[in-house]
Amino acid sequence: MNRSSEFSLRLTDWTRDSYALHAIRRTVFIVEQGVPEALEWDDVDPLCAHALACDGDGNPIGCGRLLPDGHIGRMAVLAPWRGRGIGAALLASLVERAREQGHRRAILNAQKDAVPFYARYGFIVTGDEFEEAGIAHRIMERTLEITPRSM
C-alpha cells in the first residue's frame, strides 16, 4: 500500500471493493459528468485489477481500473481531492500492474480535457478524436519497458 500524508492507495478487485469503486464512479461520471448510467457499468469490472485511493479516514476518494488487455480506464478522483497527486498515483499503480502482467504498452481513452494530464506521464495521442458517452476522447498509449523478474 502506498501512503502519503493525505491518502493511501492500494490495488484491489471488484469483489472486495465494488461498493467503494461504484460510489466514486457514480459521483464523478454519472452525477458530475452526466454519463448515462447504462454506459458506466459493464461486465468487465470483475475481470479487472482496480486501484483505490482513500483519505486518511479510509473514505474512498479515487479509483481506476486495468483491463486484462492492458487498457487503463475509469480513472476518477472526487472533486475536492483533485490536484493533490491522487490521479498520478492511481495511474502509476495501474501502469506498474500492466508492466507486471507483461503488457508491452498501456492504452487508454482519455477525455480530451485530460490529455495533458496523461501526456505528463508518457502517454501519447495515437488516434483521432471520438465521442464516448457524449464526451470528446482521444486514444493514448505508452510503451512499457518489461523488466525481468528475479528468479
CA distances 109 to 3, 44, 75, Å, are 27, 16, 10
pLDDT band at 21 (very low <50, low <70, confident <90, very high): very high
* pLDDT value of position 6: 86
Q: pLDDT band for position 30 (50/70/90)?
A: very high
- What is the mean pLDDT of the segment spanning 128-150? 86
Place of cell 461498493: 19
Average pLDDT for residues 29-37, to the nearest whole number? Answer: 94
Query: Which of 38-42, 60-64, 144-148 is most confident?
Result: 60-64
Mean pLDDT computed over every residue of the chain: 92
What percent of the chain clears pLDDT 90, i.e. is strictly above it?
88
Specify the higher pLDDT residue, 95 or 150.
95
pLDDT given for residue 3 in this prediction = 45
- Mean pLDDT, range 13-28, rounded to an integer: 97
The answer to whether the Cα torsion of 61, 13, 97, 133 is positive or negative is negative
- pTM value surpassing 0.75: yes
Mean pLDDT of 21-44: 95
In sequence order, the β-bridge partners of residue 138 are 110
Query: What is the CATH superfamily name and number for domain 2-104?
Result: Gcn5-related N-acetyltransferase (GNAT) (3.40.630.30)
- Helix ranges (H only) for the chain are 14-25, 37-40, 86-100, 115-119
